Amino acid sequence: MLYWAVIFFAIALVAAAFGFGGIASASVGIAQILFVVFLVLALIALLARAMRGNPPR
């Protein structure tokens, strides 16, 4: 999921460079949402692993 956030961020940078403001802002919004979802899922996975008694290596 982090991969897709980076892809949308790159699309936003390219679109901004060519002056497509609407496409750039939409891509940045999608990238931000995907990044937050990635962080939440990563935190849940770390907490679940710690609760089971298997601390991260």
Top-confidence residue, 51 or 21: 51
Top-confidence residue, 56 or 43: 43
User: What's the pLDDT at 4?
Assistant: 79
Q: Which distant-in-sequence residues (6+ apart) come within 8 Å of 20 by Cβ?
A: none
Q: Which distant-in-sequence residues (6+ apart) come within 8 Å of 48 by Cβ?
A: none
What pTM was estimated for this model as a whole?
0.62
| pLDDT mean over 38-50 | 87
pLDDT band for position 10 (50/70/90)?
confident
CA distance 20 to 27: 11
Domain ranges of the chain: 2-51
User: What's the pLDDT at 1?
Assistant: 66
